[in-house]
Amino acid sequence: MAEGVEWMLISIDSRGATWYAGTGIGTYTRQIVKYLLELDTKNDYFLFWSGKGYEHFKKYNNVRVSLSSRKHHRFWEQYYIPDIIKTKGVDIYHVPQNGIGLPENKNSIYVATIHDLIPYIMPETVGKGYLSKFISQMPKIMSSLDMIITVSEWSKKDIMRIFNIPDEKIKVTYLAADDMFVPMDKHIAHDFIRQKYEIDKDFILYLGGFSPRKNVKSILVAFSMIYKNLSKDYKVVIIGSSKDDHQFLNKLAQNLNIGDRVHFTGYVPYEDLPFFYNGADLFVYPSLYEGFGLPALEAICCGTPTITSNVSSIPEVVGDGALLINPFDTEELAKAMEQVLEDNEIKLDLINKGFTRASNFSWQKTASETLKAYESLL
């Protein structure tokens, strides 16, 4: 903290923890609030929250919570929140969800976490409504920020390049996997998945959404090229809500004659995900672009051999803890999948290197670096 400053009132727009639950931004918001409050007993916090799940904040003497309605979020963002910031004398106001919802009327130091600039880099993979909102609001958001937090050096370079932001204005604080993503007995994982989801075969796993940039189709094409060569009768398990558009993938599986070998689970509760990571023989994440790439980190934390992309932020996150492939080369992906599934030495090497790499990331570390970033502003 700057010399002479002994205490801060920090306000965080925490509404994204419930609004975007189950997404990377929702997880980040929930975890950064949780671990900041556990770490920092010196400063006071004023949280804006929406929905349920705020009761546990009552155990902290330095926290106040204001509940808001999603229905009237524009009123909150442009009138109520700025008034609270001004009347309470908030020192720092932090918006974790890409700065969306940042009040125009500025009465505090503004910080936002910009996770990625995918709408600028791959606009064809983003919904029209979000794309329009992001592109129209982001220049104004960037100009009003005193500090930008982002989740990888890759995203930092994108922000610097697209918005001409100076290096010293951007702090990188890496994400981390939740504490529940740890190795477990495979028999327990298999029994749970068989009983609850009726999956009783060895399987290759994918989770992480169905946007075209996630490149899920390449997993199916690659699997269709190798499944007859494999020593086990594998399935591909694809996790994701049925409200997401995976009809194309279902049709593709049928066209590739592997429809009976691909299992779409639909929505899976967050707390069930460690069972799937631990039950899988292989996790494949061939995304074309990420700001961080949290599912790949979750997988290696569970000791799951992982194949992922050699592009964007992903190599920065997984290092040598996963097998990196060119996501645009389906034959390379197919060869890598067969290699890992059939060679136990390669599999064991990936598991061990994955554990070593995963140990570099923790939410405690992320919170500590976030607090240091706040302190550098005063």
For the segment 128-156, what is each residue's pLDDT rounded down to a tens digit?
Answer: 998 998 999 999 999 999 999 999 999 99
Residue 42's contacts (CB-CB under 8 Å, 6 or more residues apart) are 6, 7
- Cα 117 versus chain centre, distance: 14
Cα dihedral 350/352/358/360 (nearest 10)? -120
- Average per-residue pLDDT in the chain? 94
The 3-state secondary structure of the chain reads: CCCCCCCCEEEEECCHHHHCCCCHHHHHHHHHHHHHHHHCCCCEEEEEEECCCCHHHHHCCCEEEEEECCCCHHHHHHHHHHHHHHHHCCCEEEECCCCCCCCCCCCCEEEEECCCCHHHHCHHHCCHHHHHHHHHHHHHHHHHCCEEEECCHHHHHHHHHHHCCCHHHEEECCCCCCCCCCCCCHHHHHHHHHHHHCCCCCEEEEECCCCHHHCCHHHHHHHHHHHHHCCCCCEEEEECCCCCCCHHHHHHHHHCCCHHHEEEEECCCHHHHHHHHHHCCEEEECCCCCCCCHHHHHHHHCCCCEEEECCCCHHHHHCCCCEEECCCCHHHHHHHHHHHHHCHHHHHHHHHHHHHHHCCCCHHHHHHHHHHHHHCCC
For the segment 183-208, what is each residue's pLDDT rounded down to a tens digit?
Answer: 999 999 999 999 999 999 899 999 98
Residue type, 161: R
The CATH number of 186-358, from 3.30.110.30, 3.40.50.2000, 3.90.580.10, 3.40.1360.10, is 3.40.50.2000
For the segment 214-229, what is each residue's pLDDT rounded down to a tens digit?
Answer: 999 999 999 999 999 9
Rounded to an integer, what distance in angstroms lies between the CA atom of residue 269 and that of residue 241? 10
Least confident of 23-37, 291-305, 343-357: 23-37
Confidence of residue 5 (pLDDT cuts 50, 70, 90): low
- Res 29 pLDDT > 70: yes
Q: Taking the model in full, what pTM does it have? A: 0.93
One fold for 9-176+362-375 and 186-358: yes
Q: What is the CATH number of domain 9-176+362-375?
A: 3.40.50.2000
Beta strands across the sheet bearing 109-113: 63-68, 44-50, 9-13, 92-95, 109-113, 147-150, 170-172
For the segment 226-264, what is each residue's pLDDT rounded down to a tens digit?
Answer: 999 999 999 999 998 866 567 889 999 999 999 999 999
The confidence score (pLDDT) of residue 59 equals: 94
Give residue limits of the domains in the chain: 9-176+362-375, 186-358
- Res 162 pLDDT > 80: yes
Rounded to an integer, what distance in angstroms lies between the CA atom of residue 76 and that of residue 331? 51
Q: Give yes or no for a contact between 150 and 236, defined as CB atoms under 8 angstroms apart.
A: no
- Res 124 pLDDT > 70: yes
Considering only residues 126 and 89, tell me which one the structure prediction assigns the higher pLDDT. 89
The confidence score (pLDDT) of residue 289 equals: 96
